[in-house]
Amino acid sequence: MKELKGAAVFGQSGGPTSVINSSAAGVFLTALASKSITAMYGAANGIKGILDEKLYDIGKEDPEELLYLKNTPSSALGSVRYKLASPEEDETDYKRLLEVFKKYNIRYFFYNGGNDSMDTCNKVSKYMQKAGYECRVMGVPKTIDNDLFGTDHCPGYGSAAKYIATSIMEVYQDARVYDKGSIIVMEIMGRNAGWLTAASALAGIKGAGPDLIYLPELPFDKEQFIEDARRIAKANNGNCMVAASEGIKYADGTYVADSGVRDKFGHAQLGGVAGTLGNILKEAIPEYRVRTIELSLLQRCASHCGSKRDVEEAFNAGKTAVRMALKGMTDYCVGFERVMKDGNYSCKMKLIPLSEIANTEKKVPRSWINKKGNYVTDKFIEYALPLIQGDVKYPREDGLPRFARLKKVTVRKK
């Protein structure tokens, strides 16, 4: 291995999770301990921060404060939804990135995100190579959606899954207190992949989960839904719990959430899936009480209910990215390999070529969804249960979470 001396930059991209900052802590602490990395920069709002030359000097942060990042939800550096054009179409951004990299002698580029971000990494790396600029590029995965290709699971998913299952168990208790039951429709994130919604079934193994689960992997059948809900409510004193992905669609491809409701100004109200399914049931089986709950942003930032395993794996993903880059690796994204030994779970870090992970979505396999398409099978439970293990002992102050307080010292523009 040839030693490569230079600065490193780390950016966070896409929707935040409970543990994206844990990966940041892994990157920062490992990089700051390395002699080859001469400076560790945090890019404000991902790739935008590099383009705008808005970089934070992480070396100026108190190392203890960086450890608080492990239990600080969201993106401490700020995130971005910015897709680079193909360099063949428009080279502007790439030229600018090269310019900034040269100016600050950036030789390590770590980028935390989902498949779009891995595409960004890949394009940047290819461009730098073509330009003859030596730079090691490593992706750090993240997404509550758990839809990245080539990795057993994604950092962020375990914590979101744990929060979802826990909240559903609690709501289940709450919903069944009166002598007349109610139908509860829970809306869970997931536009194209149903991993998060499927996690509701984890509450089911404790006897306090949904009766019906709908994932975007299969077309949604409205009539069958009404029939199932009616049957279950009838047999259970009016009780029925439904978990549905925000992205479920009818067979014709239209989103279920497009409710057709208009406000007084004539604007379409995208009531969300919970609201729409709730209205369908209120209309079809008005004899039952219906209540809808949207887990909304809560599910992706509830670090107070994080999976310890997820937090640690996210940290290790960041650490591994830096370590592997220092060893000379480039153009990879860190991935997870599940190792099961005597029924015990462990997670091995692996490297996935960026070109393989970019722009591919991993969905819940058909065989992990039941035949009727309204619940998941034991295979899913077997897969997901290890990911929510371990309880985070998050730091507190005044009875509330104590998040990292970064100084965010901006690097003087060169």
Q: Which stretches of the chain bind a second copy, using CB under 8 A? A: 12, 16, 45, 48, 72-75, 78-81, 162, 165-167, 169-171, 173-179, 184, 202-203, 205-206, 208, 259-265, 269, 279, 283, 291, 293-294, 296-298, 300-305, 307, 385, 388-391, 396-401, 403
Please give the torsion angle defined by the CA atoms of residues 32, 73, 403 and 117, in that order, rounded to the nearest 10 degrees: 30
Q: Give the tokens for residue 376.
A: 């998941």
Nearest to 203 by CA among 305, 313, 342, 309: 305
Cβ closer to a second copy: 99 or 174?
Answer: 174
Cβ closer to a second copy: 78 or 139?
Answer: 78
Residue 92 and residue 164: Cα distance in Å, rounded?
A: 42
Q: How far is the CB of 43 from a second copy (least distance, A)?
A: 12
Given the residues 119, 145, 211, 228, select the one marked as catalytic: 145
Q: How far is the CB of 388 from a second copy (least distance, A)?
A: 4
Nearest to 102 by CA among 134, 130, 124: 134
Q: Tell me, yes or no, if 145 is annotated catalytic.
A: yes
Cβ closer to a second copy: 37 or 199?
Answer: 199
* Main-chain dihedrals φ then ψ at residue 220, nearest 5 degrees: -90, 130
Cβ closer to a second copy: 92 or 237?
Answer: 237
Q: How far is the CB of 20 from a second copy (least distance, A)?
A: 9
Q: How far is the CB of 163 from a second copy (least distance, A)?
A: 9
With a CB cutoff of 8 Å and minimum separation 6, the contacts of 213 are: 197, 198, 200, 201, 242, 243, 244, 374, 375, 376
Residue 300 and residue 317: Cα distance in Å, rounded?
A: 19
Residue 333 and residue 154: Cα distance in Å, rounded?
A: 11
With a CB cutoff of 8 Å and minimum separation 6, the contacts of 207 are: none
Cβ closer to a second copy: 277 or 302?
Answer: 302
DSSP bridge partners of 138: 110, 332
Q: How far is the CB of 306 from a second copy (least distance, A)?
A: 10
Catalytic residues: 145
